Structure formats: C-alpha cells, structure tokens
Structure 1
C-alpha cells in the first residue's frame, strides 16, 4: 500500500478507536502499554523539568566537547538526585530532563530534588568547571519547573521506534515554567500548598519562596526560589 493511503488508514484508526484506560500508581514501563489507544492513568503525579539556561549561546561560543561535558555533568547530577528522591526519569530532551514523582510525599520530594540540583550546580558543577577550565568565565545557569496534576501515559510512535507521551497539566506547566529565568526554581501553587514545611521555610523561619503571578497563564499564582538543599 502507498505511504499516503497507509497513513490515512492509520490516522482514521487512531481517531475512531475507543481508548482503554487502566489505573496505575507508579510510572509505567513503555512495554506495559500497547501502540493502540491504550493509556495508563496516574490519578495524581508531580512532574519536574530541569533545563540548562543559555545552552544555545554555549554551543555557539564554546567547543563542542566543552558543551558536551556541561550537558553530561548537569544531567548526570540531576538524574542521580532525582533517583535519590524516589523520582523516575522519564525523558532526556537535549539539555533537559523530565522526571515524575508518585509517592505520598511527591511534591516535597520533587521540590527537595530541585533544591538539591540547584546546590549541585553551585557547589559541585560550577567549581568543577572553574577548576578544570581556569581561564573561562562560563557561568552555568539552569531553571527547574515543578507542577502536580492527574497524568495519563500513552505509547506513541511505530513498532521499533516508540516512547511514552504524558498527557496532563503537570507535564505541560512544568516544562513551560523553565522559560522563566529570573530565578532557578519555579513551582505552581498546587505544589506549594501540598509540600512539607521543611521545603517552605528555613530552620530559622525564613520563607524560601516568593509569590509571583504568571502573566501569560492568566496571572496564575506561582512561586520562585533560589534556595539550595545541601546533601
């Protein structure tokens, strides 16, 4: 069958087929979903997106090997910290990483992971860069977004070339929050309201988060921070 007719048939099938949705408590493996209209439903989950800020300028002005080292260093630290906080890395996309948290303390765990990644940037990666490349003035910057909502996972692509796509507010908002580069950490009100006090206030009672209003998103209430979590 010619490609055009083949694709027309497949699109008709996708749009007409009824969805089969199954409840799940954890992050599913792609092999647990079919390529047909089959989805896994997480009633509530928290998504963390961590993104290097200014990577385009970096690849334009530094050797490719330097950029590769920065990517590897940042994503390695982020992935290790996420795993230590019981998160699951679900995707790497160039210079960013996506993770999902599903435990009963998922909002606190995700925010704590974000603060630890911020600590790693300032206290581990940047000093390492300065030590290895003493003549560079490169400053590593990053942005992390966190949101929580119901999520559904579906398998996309074709046989042999497929992955999961996540449908739900948290996946979109967490990614969009990384476009706000005034502070390195951004969370929604839903996350803020549900996380533990120890990631809201310091031991001496100082507020760690500043309330903002997200203008492009109908002045949605969000919170930003530059706090770090030592580990």
Structure 2
C-alpha cells in the first residue's frame, strides 16, 4: 500500500465511522483506554491555560540558559499549584501549561489556582531570579485564561507518537483568553457565575473582577482580575 492510498483509506474510515463515546469519571490521560479510531471520553470540565507573555522577545534577547530557567521555574510553580487545587495537567506547550478541573467546585478551584500562580510569579519566581541575576531588567509576566464547558477527549496522531486532543469551547476559549493583555487572569461569565464568593470578593468587600466584552469572540462577556491569592 502506498502512502497516498493509506492516508486516503484512513481519512475515509474516520469520516464514515460512528463515534464510541463514554462518560469520564476522571480527567483522561495517556493511560486512558482510547484507540486511534473514533473513540472518545466526554466530561464536564473547566480548562485553565497559563501562558508566559513575550517569551519570543525573551529568547531573542537573553541567553538560552536564562530563558530555560525562566521556563522551568514558571511551569514548575504553575504545575504544582494546579495539582494542589485538584487540577490535572493535560499538556505543556512550550511556554504555557494546560490544566483541566472536574467535579465539585471545579471553577472555584481553577480560579484560585490562577490567582496563586500570579502570586508565585510575583513573590517567588521573580524575586529569586533577581537574587541571582542582579543586573537583569527582565520581568516575568503571564496571562491565565479559564473557561468551562463539555469536552470531548480523543486520541490523535499515529501509533507510537500520539496525544490527546481536547474538543470543546472551554479548551479553545481558555487558550485564546490567555493571549489577551498580560498581567491579568481572564475568565468567562460561565465560570464567574458559578464560582464561590471567596474568589469573587476580597475579605474587606472589594470586588476582585471587572467585566469586559470580548469583541473578538462575538462580544462574549468575560471578566478579568489582577488580584492574587497568597500561598502559605
């Protein structure tokens, strides 16, 4: 069989085959029993993307060693915080991390994780970087985007080199939210409406979020915040 005929046969089979779907009780991972054909797991999930800002300028301006240390410290802190809030890391993509939260209080936990990541960047990563690199003017900034929806999770790629693909509004919109102006956490109205008051209003009664209209996405209502959540 030629490569052309193999590709034609594969695509035709995918398009004509019915999907086999099952409801997920946990966040799917590489060990989930999914084949490369039309098999999928359905979950209700909240997706978080935490993305470094201006990473291209960083690698163009600073040494590879320094840039790698920034990547490592940012992604490590983000991953540990996500897990501490009960989230599952679904992907690392260069300078950003994707995580999924399911179950009770998934939106509150995702938002609190985002606010803790902001605190870690400001009060852990940046100060410890400056303690070593005393003459640098580099400032680490990032953006976090969060949305919630139903998600279809399937395996894609080829045997021996495959990954999971997350299909659903939350995965797409959370990623796009993380490309907005740096320094903020952005969440959809769907997340805001159901999250706990503890991540909406400060202890002294000040609102933590301001409403915005996402003009690039059909004027979808969203919220942004520059607040952080201290890690003890």
Identify whether the pair has TM-score above 0.5, normalized to the shorter chain: yes
Q: Find the counterpart in structure 2 of residue 137 from structure 1.
A: 137
Unaligned runs of 5+ in 1: none
The answer on whether the counterparts of 2:209 and 2:224 sit within 8 Å (CA) in structure 1 is: yes
The answer on whether the counterparts of 2:184 and 2:225 sit within 8 Å (CA) in structure 1 is: yes
Q: CA offsets per residue over residues 92-137 of structure 1, 9 Å max, x none?
A: 0000100000021000000000000000000000001110100000
Q: Find the counterpart in structure 2 of residue 39 from structure 1.
A: 40
TM-fit CA distance, 1:10: 0.7
CA distance in 2 between partners of 1:115 and 1:127 (Å): 18
Q: Find the counterpart in structure 2 of residue 172 from structure 1.
A: 172
Q: Normalised by the size of structure 2, how large is the TM-score?
A: 0.98
Q: Find the counterpart in structure 2 of residue 158 from structure 1.
A: 158
The answer on whether the counterparts of 1:145 and 1:185 sit within 8 Å (CA) in structure 2 is: yes
Equivalent residues in 2 for 1:2-151 (5 A)?
2-31=2-31, 32-42=33-43, 44-151=44-151
The answer on whether the counterparts of 2:29 and 2:90 sit within 8 Å (CA) in structure 1 is: no
Q: Normalised by the size of structure 1, how large is the TM-score?
A: 0.98
TM-fit CA distance, 1:45: 0.7
Q: CA offsets per residue over residues 183-209 of structure 1, 9 Å max, x none?
A: 420000000001000000000000000
The answer on whether the counterparts of 1:154 and 1:164 sit within 8 Å (CA) in structure 2 is: yes
The answer on whether the counterparts of 2:50 and 2:97 sit within 8 Å (CA) in structure 1 is: yes
Equivalent residues in 2 for 1:183-194 (5 A)?
183-194=183-194
CA distance in 1 between partners of 2:225 and 2:65 (Å): 31
CA distance in 2 between partners of 1:99 and 1:29 (Å): 11
CA distance in 1 between partners of 2:146 and 2:225 (Å): 12
SS of aligned partner of 1:30: coil
TM-fit CA distance, 1:182: 4.8
TM-fit CA distance, 1:2: 1.2
The answer on whether the counterparts of 1:183 and 1:224 sit within 8 Å (CA) in structure 2 is: no
CA distance in 1 between partners of 2:14 and 2:52 (Å): 35
The answer on whether the counterparts of 1:79 and 1:89 sit within 8 Å (CA) in structure 2 is: yes
CA distance in 2 between partners of 1:25 and 1:183 (Å): 34
CA distance in 2 between partners of 1:183 and 1:29 (Å): 30
Q: Give the alignment's Cα RMSD to 1 decimal.
A: 0.8
Kindly report structure 1 stretches of 4+ aligned residues shifted beyond 3 Å: none
